[in-house]
């Protein structure tokens, strides 16, 4: 495995790793000055080779969203969480803007179209994603796992 992309935001980081067959995204938390994996960890596996990027710009291919947050005081879901969002965007995409009611993050697109973003969000809130194209257009992404955003 080799590190592919790294995003560090305050007390959380996402690392995309790849090997000969696939790509994995792992979220780690800073706890008392040490980086730790969450007690329960979800790892998304994506094929290493980028897909054909000739698809509509409002789509993120192989979209993977993972949430992580400590339980509330009563043992229920946390009020807010850290989210990692990864996948492939269409050719011509320059960056993506990911937002929630608590945070926003802009990330550039890797040469093969892969994107990796980290942000804070209320536990059940879906993030909104807008793709910024190299021609200046901004296209909201449509997906059941994402919030709808006006242009």
| Residue 129 to residue 123: CA distance in whole angstroms | 17
pLDDT value at 41 more than 60: no
pTM as predicted: 0.84
* Alpha carbons 145 and 140: distance in angstroms, whole number: 13
| Joined tokens for residue 129 | 């994603």
| For residues 97-121, average pLDDT | 94
In this prediction, residue 37 carries a pLDDT of 79
Q: Are 16 and 43 in contact (CB under 8 A)?
A: no
Mean pLDDT of 11-34: 85
Rounded to whole angstroms, how far apart are CA atoms 149 and 100? 11
Q: Which tokens is 128 given? A: 């909104």
pLDDT attached to residue 125 = 95
pLDDT level of residue 116 (50, 70, 90 thresholds): very high
Mean pLDDT of the chain: 85
pLDDT digits (tens, 9 = 90+) for 64-87: 898 888 888 898 888 899 999 998
């Amino acid at each position: 495995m080799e590190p592919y992309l790294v995003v560090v935001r305050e007390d959380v980081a996402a690392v995309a790793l790849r090997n000969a067959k696939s790509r994995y995204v792992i979220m780690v938390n800073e706890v008392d000055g040490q980086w730790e994996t969450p007690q329960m960890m979800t790892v998304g596996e994506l094929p290493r080779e980028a897909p054909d990027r000739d698809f509509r710009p409002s789509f993120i291919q192989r979209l993977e969203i993972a949430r992580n947050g400590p339980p509330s005081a009563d043992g229920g879901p946390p009020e807010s969480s850290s989210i990692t969002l990864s996948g492939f965007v269409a050719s011509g995409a320059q960056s993506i803007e990911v937002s929630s009611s608590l945070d926003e993050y802009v990330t550039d697109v890797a040469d093969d179209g892969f994107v990796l973003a980290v942000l804070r969000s209320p536990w059940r809130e879906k993030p909104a994603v807008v793709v910024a194209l190299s021609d200046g257009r901004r296209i909201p992404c449509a997906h059941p796992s994402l919030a709808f955003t006006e242009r």
